[in-house]
C-alpha cells in the first residue's frame, strides 16, 4: 500500500475557496467566553506574509452543532489574521496529565511547501507550568512563541515568525 500522498503548496490563489464566515467559530451562537485570536505572520526578513491561510482547531469546547471547533482566516496585507472563537478549557493529555488550554494552528501559504503546525496557549494559565508540550521546550524564549498575550477586550495575540530571530516553535505532529 502506498504511503501518504505528498503535500504541495497552497499557492497564492486559495482565496477562490475562501469564505469569510469561517473566521468566526461563534457564528452559530455557541455559549462560552468569546475571544479573538489574532497575530501577525512574518518571514525571515520580518516582512509580512500576506494571503496566507490560517486554520485553527480546538478539541475544547467539544465540537457540536453550535460550535465547529474549526475555522479559517486569511492574512491581510500586513500579515495579520483574526479569528473569533471560544476560549478553550484544559484538555486531557496522555496518562494522567492535563494539557493547558490551547488552540492548534495550521499555517498554509505560498512559499510553504507543506503546512506548518503550531499551538496558541494563553498567558497566565496555571496549567502552562505543567503542560507536557510547553515543559518539553527547554528554552523559555522558544516556549514563549506558543503563548498568546492578552490585549484586552478578549483579544489574544500570537505573532508568528516563520524564520530566524524569534522563530516560532513549529510542531512535528
Partner 1 sequence: MNEPFRPYAAGSQPSLDTPDYRSTAKRHPLRPRHPMPQTITETSGPRFSPRLFPATTDLTTSTNGKQALGERITVAGRVLDEDGRPVPHTMIEVWQAGASGRYDHPGDQHDAPLDPNFHGDGRVYTDAEGNYSFLTIRPGAYPWPNHKNAWRPTHIHFSFFGPAFATRLITQMYFPGDPLLPLDPIFNGVPDPVARDRLIAQFDIGLTQPDYALGYRFDVVLRGRGATPMEG
Which residues lie near partner 1 (CB under 8 A)?
1-17, 43-45, 47, 49, 51, 55, 57-59, 63, 68-70, 91-94, 99, 102, 104, 106, 108-117, 119, 132-133, 136-137, 162-164, 167-173
Nearer to partner 1, 45 or 153 (CB): 45
Q: Which three cell numbers stand for residue 2?
A: 502506498
Q: Which CB atom, from 25 or from 35, has the smaller least distance to partner 1? A: 25
Query: How far is it, in rounded angstroms, from Cα 52 to Cα 141?
Result: 25
CB 123, min distance to partner 1, A? 19
Shortest Cβ distance from residue 103 to partner 1 (Å)?
Answer: 9
Counting Cα atoms < 13 Å in the Cβ hemisphere of 128 gives: 16
Strand partners, 98: 92
Which is closer to partner 1, CB of 19 or CB of 153? Answer: 19
In this structure, what DSSP letter does residue 128 have?
G
As measured in angstroms, the least distance from the Cβ of 40 to partner 1 is 14
Comparing CB distances to partner 1, the nearer of 29 and 152 is: 29
Output the DSSP codes for 2-34. --PPPP----TTGGGG--GGGGBTTTT---S-E
Cis peptide before 61 (omega within 30 of 0): yes
Task: Compute the least distance from the CB of residue 21 to partner 1, in Å.
Answer: 10
Amino acid at each position: 500500500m502506498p504511503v501518504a500522498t505528498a503535500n504541495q503548496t497552497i499557492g497564492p490563489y486559495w482565496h477562490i475557496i475562501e469564505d469569510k464566515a469561517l473566521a468566526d467559530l461563534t457564528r452559530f451562537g455557541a455559549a462560552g467566553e468569546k475571544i479573538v485570536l489574532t497575530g501577525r505572520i512574518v518571514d525571515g526578513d520580518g516582512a509580512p506574509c500576506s494571503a496566507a491561510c490560517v486554520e485553527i482547531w480546538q478539541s475544547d469546547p467539544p465540537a457540536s452543532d453550535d460550535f465547529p471547533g474549526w475555522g479559517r482566516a486569511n492574512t491581510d496585507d500586513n500579515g495579520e489574521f483574526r479569528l473569533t472563537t471560544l476560549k478553550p478549557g484544559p484538555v486531557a493529555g496522555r496518562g494522567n496529565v492535563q494539557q493547558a488550554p490551547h488552540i492548534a494552528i495550521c499555517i498554509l501559504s505560498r512559499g510553504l511547501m507543506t503546512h506548518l503546525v503550531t499551538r496558541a496557549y494563553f498567558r497566565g494559565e496555571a496549567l502552562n507550568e505543567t503542560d507536557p508540550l510547553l515543559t518539553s521546550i527547554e528554552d523559555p524564549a522558544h516556549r514563549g512563541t506558543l503563548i498568546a498575550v492578552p490585549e484586552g477586550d478578549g483579544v489574544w495575540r500570537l505573532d508568528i515568525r516563520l524564520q530566524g530571530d524569534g522563530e516560532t516553535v513549529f510542531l512535528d505532529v
